[in-house]
């Protein structure tokens, strides 16, 4: 909306029943107070159970766990995975809540980015939607490739682990235990040696 479109934001998406949300509530409220009225940065909270707009926004952004923290350009948010204490949140906010290149801040963009933005601003709504779908399809492909790779790695790990256990079992059922017993027996003093020591 008008309040966020010209600012860099740091948003907490939460649910009132969430224990982790309650745990960080005081720190987040302190952070919100710190940035209240700032011309550049906005720190705010969105209740994902609120039927007056919060729930719709959370669904649109794909928020699935609470709390989820996102930051950056309101139209291109990134997920925050850092610490949740006030000190950590405040340090991060001061790093990222700065003027950034965007549609509403063209003067902060380099020439190449500015040219792209101006090009897309002249693109009709239908073609713009198609371009977005193409880029989102690339994201989906990347996620699917990652899942396939991790699935393959998981199967290879399980096979390697099974081979390791089988190899260990074969060794332990073989001659190694006897070899260790002989080695241990040799290290024990003989009865003659014990007698000499006693004398």
21 has catalytic annotation: yes
18, 48, 101, 109: the catalytic one is 18
Encoded tokens for 121: 């601003």
21, 48, 58, 109: the catalytic one is 21
Q: Which phi and psi (to 5°) does residue 110 adopt?
A: -75, 170
Residues involved in catalysis? 18, 21
């Amino acid at each position: 909306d008008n309040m966020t479109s010209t600012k860099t934001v740091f948003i907490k998406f939460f649910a009132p029943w969430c224990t982790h949300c309650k745990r960080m509530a005081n720190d987040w409220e302190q952070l919100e107070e710190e940035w209240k009225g700032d011309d550049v940065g906005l720190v705010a909270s969105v209740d994902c159970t609120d039927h007056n707009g919060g729930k719709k926004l959370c669904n649109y952004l794909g928020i699935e766990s609470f709390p989820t923290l996102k930051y950056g350009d309101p139209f291109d948010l990134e997920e925050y995975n850092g610490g949740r204490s006030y000190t950590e949140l405040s340090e991060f906010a001061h790093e990222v809540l700065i003027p950034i290149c965007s549609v509403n801040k063209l003067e902060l963009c380099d020439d190449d980015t500015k040219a792209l933005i101006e090009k897309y601003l002249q693109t009709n709504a239908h073609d713009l939607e198609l371009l977005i779908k193409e880029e989102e399809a690339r994201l989906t492909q990347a996620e699917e490739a990652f899942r396939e790779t991790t699935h393959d790695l998981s199967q290879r790990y399980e096979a390697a682990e099974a081979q390791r256990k089988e190899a260990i079992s074969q060794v332990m059922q073989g001659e190694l235990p006897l070899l260790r017993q002989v080695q241990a027996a040799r290290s024990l003093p003989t009865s003659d040696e014990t007698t000499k020591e006693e004398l």
